[in-house]
Amino acid sequence: MRAFVLAISCSLLAAATLFGAAPNYNLSTDQADQIIQKFAAKETQFAKVRENYTYRQTAKIQLLDDSGNPTNEQWAEVTDIVFDLEGHRTERVVSAPVPTLERIQLDPGDMEDMRQTQPFVLTTTELPNYYVRYLGHQQVDEIGCYVFAVKPKKMEPNKRYFSGEVWVDDQELQIVKTYGRGVGLQKKNSDHRYPKFETYRQQIDGKYWFPTYTMADDTLHFRDEDVRIKQTIRYEDYKQFKSDVKIIYGDAVDDKKPENPPQQQQR
């Protein structure tokens, strides 16, 4: 029996040596803080790169009845993020049908959330405004991710914040998914409600994880009634317009040496 146990132990040791030890995702506070600083730095780089891209944003809000069926109440807008002749980045509304919303009205917080909070980017500059706590490690599709809880430390008037969770690629150290809601200070006796949303990113041009899809299916609890909404936003047709920022991951690249074009990773 003793020899048999020893043989099993040796076999397990050999297997561990052959295939490598499983990663330890029980991070210490210092290890988690180091990862937070690194992914915030990567997010800062990404934010600069995204400023050099054009894309189309298609947003839609549909109100649902108690059974979850679409009603006639909806709002939609298609916007192109482009550069003008002087090279300034600007928004151009392509389509904005007359809204048919009756039970709710969109406020400035809703519009700010669609532009900034839902495609959330946690840069080094924004990091001091948030508590960030490590929750563990999970898979998003086939991507191993560190998961962090994020909430604002203090909220200033007329500013929107993200409160929820982010999934950070454990190799690229970039956010690939967010889940939460936009939050902010409200005036006394106001009755604003904002939905929980989920935003996915996709790798564009083989390097950067760009927001590509946001969805929300939530019931907003107003004082007088509950209203269920479904919201979708698609960010499409990313194209690099100009580049004043050069970011190299890994080893330096010889510009004179031809290289294979990067493969876009699909989610």
CB contact at 8 A, 165 and 140: no
pLDDT at 242: 64
Q: Encoding tokens for residue 115?
A: 């532009």
Instruction: Report percent pLDDT > 70 for the chain.
Output: 82
pLDDT at 225: 94
Residue 32 pLDDT greater than 70, yes or no:
yes
pLDDT at 250: 42
pLDDT band at 24 (very low <50, low <70, confident <90, very high): confident
Place of tokens 């108690």: 66
In 3-state terms, the chain is what percent helix, strand and coil (to 5)? 20, 40, 40
- How far is 97 from 132, CA to CA, in rounded Å? 40
Residue 248 pLDDT greater than 80, yes or no:
no
Q: Give SS3 for 47.
A: helix
**Per-residue pLDDT averaged across 129-154, rounded?**
97
The per-residue pLDDT for range 44-66, each reduced to its tens digit, is 999 999 999 999 999 999 999 98
The per-residue pLDDT for range 194-243, each reduced to its tens digit, is 999 999 999 999 888 999 999 999 999 999 999 999 999 999 999 998 64
The per-residue pLDDT for range 142-201, each reduced to its tens digit, is 999 999 999 999 999 999 999 999 999 999 999 999 999 999 998 888 899 999 999 999
Place of tokens 């190799």: 171
Q: Which residue has the higher pLDDT, 56 or 5?
A: 56
**Per-residue pLDDT averaged across 96-124, rounded?**
96
**Per-residue pLDDT averaged across 129-140, rounded?**
97
The per-residue pLDDT for range 79-108, each reduced to its tens digit, is 999 998 888 889 999 999 999 999 999 999
Distance of alpha carbon 202 from the chain centroid? 10
Q: Which residue has the higher pLDDT, 93 or 1?
A: 93
CB contact at 8 A, 246 and 255: no
pLDDT band at 262 (very low <50, low <70, confident <90, very high): very low
Residue 254 pLDDT greater than 50, yes or no:
no
pLDDT at 76: 98
**Helix H or strand E segment including 146:** strand 143-152
pLDDT at 33: 97
**Per-residue pLDDT averaged across 101-116, rounded?**
95
